[in-house]
Amino acid sequence: MAVDVLSTADGRLKTAKSRAYAAEWRESRSRGKAIEIGTSTPPDFPARPAKPELLNPRDVPKRRPGTEAGRIALLHAVAHIEFNAVDLHWDIIARFGHVPMPIGFHDDWVKCAEEESRHFEMVCDCLESMGSHYGALPAHAGMWRAAEDTADDLMGRLAVVPMVLEARGLDVTPRMIDVFRKAKSEQAVAALEVIYAEEVGHVAYGSKWFHFLCGRENADPKDVFHQMVRRYFHGALKPPFNEEKRAEAGLPPDFYWPLTEDLPPPGRSE
């Protein structure tokens, strides 16, 4: 199921499959007969549609959020993040099937994948009601980097994807909601509020299973987190942080503040 989602290029088809498989999983769990966790080899790179064109982030044109074109560009970037997030959650299930984990691990990531699928669809609906669509603009080419870098390391994957990248979403989403509130774009505000609320859960699942693995190895979670982020994440963490939502998601300040010190000296790019 996970590999089928990863191998599907079209956005709406990918998310439809993702939601159908999530429902199947949930139904099997509620009957007390969980679908067997098999093993399968996920693709190194998930299938991608012909559009959007994927560019180096430096070459993705920046637009001001004060304009309609700027707001479309912002939502397009969010759609691209959600699209990749669907694949990231199915990838963790498929790629680490050989690591023995409690069944709740699978429940959590299936639920996240299902939520990301809805996030993608809601943001696509917004783009379409603004006369655009996912694929109309170029998008960031580096989205799969974190998955590649941590393909052999479940602890690294949890540290970098939910606990760094998805936590970053908690920092930036409130400002985005403000942009659309000012523009009286109610549909976008509603979509972003769902995303904001549900992403707390994704970070929390990351923190929960990261702590679980550290506990199983009798390792200090904070130290291991610092090691993993320094090994696999390129660049420093950038404040300001949403400390309240991060705390709600099980991410205390001593996990992320020390990693801001890795910022390169001014004038030098990473």
3-state secondary structure of 55: strand
Helix axis angle, 68-95 to 186-216, nearest 10°: 30
Neighbours of 35 (CB within 10 A): 14
Q: Minimum CB separation from Fe ion for residue 23, in Å? A: 18
Which of 213, 243, 248 has its CA nearest to residue 228? 213
Residues 202-241, one symbol each (x = binds Fe ion by CB under 5 A, - = not), give: x---------------------------------------
Q: Minimum CB separation from Fe ion for residue 209, in Å? A: 14
- Name which position in 19, 71, 80, 119 contacts Fe ion (CB under 5 A): 119
- Name which position in 108, 114, 116, 121 contacts Fe ion (CB under 5 A): 116
Q: Minimum CB separation from Fe ion for residue 265, in Å? A: 33
- Angle at the Cα of 106 (from 150 to 215), degrees rounded to 5? 65
C-beta of 95 vs 267, nearer to Fe ion: 95
Q: Per CB under 5 A, which of residues 170..209 are in contact with Fe ion?
A: 199, 202
C-beta of 84 vs 132, nearer to Fe ion: 84
C-beta of 52 vs 216, nearer to Fe ion: 52
Stretch that binds Fe ion, among 64-72, 100-108, 131-139, 161-169 (CB under 5 A): 161-169
- For 245, phi and psi rounded to 5 degrees? -70, -35
User: In whole angstroms, what is the distance from residue 10 CA to residue 8 CA?
Assistant: 6
Cβ neighbours of residue 118 closer than 8 Å, sequence gap 6 or more: 15, 19, 194
Q: Minimum CB separation from Fe ion for residue 219, in Å? A: 26
Q: Which residues pair with 54 in a beta bridge?
A: 139
Instruction: Give yes or no for residue 111 binding Fe ion (CB under 5 A).
Output: no
Number of residues that bind Fe ion (CB under 5 A): 7
C-beta of 201 vs 258, nearer to Fe ion: 201
> What are the Cα distances from residue 220, in Å, to 129, 152, 196, 217, 225?
48, 21, 29, 9, 9
Q: Residue numbers of the site for Fe ion (CB under 5 A)?
A: 82, 85, 116, 119, 166, 199, 202
